[in-house]
Structure 1
């Protein structure tokens, strides 16, 4: 019995059209599901040691409490995040505002506090440290 080897067949061509369709569908999926939110940068200088003498300016220490947004300024407690910055805090002079955060304060609360102070006109805002 002889084996039928067959005639020389042409190899089957693979169509690239479905592959291109899949690539475009994936591209559309990732483009539509990704977020294009614009991030903004906030400068928050950290105090460092320096050789030059410091400028004499009023330093107001704002203590951010860990209870969710209250701040303590010279034994007075305010909720700046809900009520805004009190007028007596800013005053006429341009004070240096040093923020002390208690342990357990979220970064979001700290950023919101800095943002509220900047909106109220505070130019010199600095992070003093985290209190244990």
Structure 2
């Protein structure tokens, strides 16, 4: 007796519904997530003990006051704009970005002002930036 064999079908897994569910979850999380932009960063800075670093007479010093005003090498800038700070750094450095740059800030300064000053200096090419700290006494 001759039996007719049924052709064997290959079993496959259909991934289309899985991909649909993954995309729906992705869209759900993207829509339900809220993004906020931080304006100021508030942190408690550590204090350090040790010897004071040697001061380079040709260094550029940026002072940041508690209300966010800038002064470059003791000369107060006319406003708080970063373009003014940029022009002052270019003028003081005469294009020499290898000079050490010291950023001193008041303890009550918003850290965003310090970050902005570092960002302006970094974009100009100053790589030798430092943030001095006040050492604790009696230790």
For Structure 1 versus Structure 2, the TM-score category normalised by the shorter chain is 0.5 to 0.7
Contact 2:64 2:103 in 1 (8 A): yes
Shift of 1:113: 0.9
Contact 1:101 1:129 in 2 (8 A): no
TM-score with structure 1 setting the length? 0.53
Match of 1:126 in 2: 130
Question: Structure 2: which 5+ runs fail to align?
Answer: 1-21, 37-49
Shift of 1:26: 6.1
1:83 aligns with 2:87: no
- Aligned pair count reads 97
Match of 1:99 in 2: 103
Question: Structure 1: which 5+ runs fail to align?
Answer: 1-22, 38-48
Match of 2:14 in 1: none
Which string of whole-angstrom CA distances, capped at 9 and with x for unpartnered residues, describes residues 35-62 of structure 1? Answer: 689xxxxxxxxxxx79xxx7x6732221
Match of 2:62 in 1: 62
Structure 1 CA distance for aligned equivalents of residues 128 and 103 of structure 2? 11
Shift of 1:102: 0.4
Which string of whole-angstrom CA distances, capped at 9 and with x for unpartnered residues, describes residues 4-48 of structure 1? Answer: xxxxxxxxxxxxxxxxxxx986653322233689xxxxxxxxxxx
Moved >4 Å (runs of 4+): 23-27
Change (3 A) 1:28 1:72: same
Contact 2:60 2:93 in 1 (8 A): no
Structure 1 CA distance for aligned equivalents of residues 25 and 95 of structure 2? 58
- Computing the radius of gyration from Cα coordinates, the structure with the larger value is 1
SS of residue in 1 equivalent to 2:102: strand
TM-score with structure 2 setting the length? 0.51
Going by fraction, where is strand more abundant, 1 or 2? 1
Shift of 1:99: 0.7
